[in-house]
Amino acid sequence: MKYGIAFFPDKKIQDIANSYRKRYDPHYALIPPHVTLKEAFEMDDEGLSQANSHLEKVSREIAPFLIHFPKLSTFHPTNNVIYIAVEETEAIKSLHEKINSGVLFHERRYAYIPHLTIGQEMPEDELHDVYGSLRMKRFELSTWVDRFHLMYQLENKSWTIYQTYLLRGSSE
């Protein structure tokens, strides 16, 4: 089965993201706006049990933290994706690294860039037009990250939550 790990920003940020996603993201109906912490991966039942133990441990080590979404950016020319950037902090970097260790370690094709996708699989001309019209917009959005989710993909390609992990570490 295919799994992934992400967190969802607050409703205000999801509403803003969806105002763009419904036009520019063909995956709009498959998953709510999210920030990926681990790309999709295959796992069997035994792996799932080990992953669950690993993620429980991670959730006890990381305290809730605030993140900021300051601006729009793109992965072009590597991928035709437009996203709202997440300001990279030690907290999100640590959460990502701890999740992607141990039984969930896999080599990544790309460096981790925390982001919230608002457009993808766009023709190059459309990407340049949309990005050109939106790139000067300042978002100045913030949300608390106090949980993350292990999700799995259904047969219709949509994603649903399998398990939620509350961040319970102490903030020092």
pLDDT at 172: 63
Question: CATH fold of 2-166, please?
Answer: Cyclic Phosphodiesterase; Chain: A, (3.90.1140)
Catalytic-labelled residue, pool 27, 54, 68, 115? 115
Q: Which parts of the chain have pLDDT scores under 70?
A: 172
pLDDT at 170: 87
Instruction: Tell me the domain boundaries of the chain.
Output: 2-166
Closest CA to 82 of 133, 136, 6, 24: 24
pLDDT at 139: 84
Is 68 a known active-site residue? no
DSSP state for residue 121 in the 8-state scheme: S
Is 27 a known active-site residue? no
pLDDT at 78: 92
Residue 165, classed as helix, strand or coil, is strand
